[in-house]
Amino acid sequence: MSTFDGLLYDGRHAAFRRVVVEVEDARVAIVEDDARAVLAQSDISVDAPVPGVVRRLTLPGGATIETADHAAVEASWPTKGTIARAAFWLESRWSMAVAAVLITASLVWLIVAVVLPLAAEPVARNFSPRFEEAIGAQTLKTIDTRFARPSLLPTERRKAIEEKFAAFVEREPGISGARLEFRRMPFPNAFALPGGTIVLTDKMVTLLDDDDALMAVLAHELGHLQAKHGMRLVLQSSGVAVLVTALAGDAAGMTILAAAMPAALLNARYSREFELEADRYAYGHLARHGSSPQALADVLRRFAEDKRTADVNDPLMRYLNSHPDLEERIRLAEEAR
Ligand SMILES: [Zn+2]
């Protein structure tokens, strides 16, 4: 029997409980004082190991257990087996492909056009929070050295927005750890980094000059965050990284993803599917906080009017071009009221 200590999170609250995990004969017992729950080992999924990062076990229903006992997790859920199996899968497909150039070409097409976009979502959803936070921190560092300056908004204005935002995300499932960073960039922008940071530019704050409109924009960005769109965008556009990360989930994968992230986020043109998904999330979020989808419709309408009068070199165009299909989004938001 293998035994290790862990912290149990119920998946809804930040608080944890100390538990002991016992693994024996494909069954896992979770023990807290006198209480004991037994599960099938196959019902528990385990994230890929990242050096220096705690391992995370996901239970059916979304609760998680975090533990620093790498050896015990490795003994019960060996990583090597997964990598070897995946490598074997690739190799067996590969040898088939070299049989004919034609097959190789169509296989490559299939992987790039079909498999990678499909793989991006499950891969992005299975990163551990700490892995995402590390990528987000690295991305912000790059943005700070290359694209952004410190915010010049008055401290009281920033504090007021931060307080409003903190109340806006409090007790929201799936977006724990969301926080704001203010930066000065040449255009109005708001974008979400993996791990929970939303960057808001001074120009977006002054352009909107209205807290309800700002919270509607942030609700939409929380939708991108919650659905892991930033990570999926990068995974979809960098095929090799998908494989490296899916197979290993280690520091090499992180370096590749963090390097590709700033350009992907700053030049993002989210797909219609991603935009509508982020909006649908925003409707619910706004409704839970005493507002309504109408707030989103209103701010989108303002953007649409600005877009009609702005010329192509207007800095606002950059944000609007990265968030397409305004008219459709306004219509859907108003229907969702
Ligand atoms: Zn968007």
Cα–Cα distance for residue pair 37/17, rounded to 1 Å: 14
In the reported structure, the alpha carbon of residue 7 is separated from the centroid of ligand 1 by a whole-number distance in angstroms of 35
Q: Is the pLDDT higher at 107 or at 88?
A: 107
Q: What average pLDDT does the segment 272-296 reach?
A: 93
DSSP H or E stretch at residue 273: helix 272-288
Nearest to 46 by CA among 120, 119, 132, 128: 128
Cα–Cα distance for residue pair 241/116, rounded to 1 Å: 10
β-pair type (149-150, 16-24): unpaired
Of 4-8, 83-87, 121-125, 216-220, the one with minimum mean pLDDT is 83-87
Q: Which CATH code, of 1.10.10.10, 2.30.29.30, 2.60.40.10, 3.20.20.410, is assigned to 2-76?
A: 2.30.29.30
In the reported structure, the alpha carbon of residue 321 is separated from the centroid of ligand 1 by a whole-number distance in angstroms of 10
Cα–Cα distance for residue pair 331/313, rounded to 1 Å: 27
At 61 the pLDDT is 84
In the reported structure, the alpha carbon of residue 318 is separated from the centroid of ligand 1 by a whole-number distance in angstroms of 12
β-pair type (190-192, 64-67): unpaired
In the reported structure, the alpha carbon of residue 278 is separated from the centroid of ligand 1 by a whole-number distance in angstroms of 6
Q: How do the residues of the chain divide into helix, strand and coil, expressed in percent and rounded to 5?
A: 60, 15, 25
> Could you write out the DSSP letters of every residue in 76-139?
HS-HHHHHHHHHHHHHHHHHHHTT-HHHHHHHHHHIIIIIHHHHHHHHHHTS-HHHHHHHHHHH
Q: Is the pLDDT higher at 227 or at 91?
A: 227
In the reported structure, the alpha carbon of residue 220 is separated from the centroid of ligand 1 by a whole-number distance in angstroms of 6
Nearest to 70 by CA among 53, 82, 45: 53
Whether pLDDT at 50 is above 90: no
Please give the structure tokens belonging to residue 197: 């940071």
In the reported structure, the alpha carbon of residue 277 is separated from the centroid of ligand 1 by a whole-number distance in angstroms of 9
Domain boundaries, the chain: 2-76, 79-125, 129-335
In the reported structure, the alpha carbon of residue 329 is separated from the centroid of ligand 1 by a whole-number distance in angstroms of 11
Percent of the chain with pLDDT over 70: 81
Q: Is the pTM of this model over 0.75?
A: no
Residues with CB under 5 A from ligand 1 (ion): 270, 278, 323
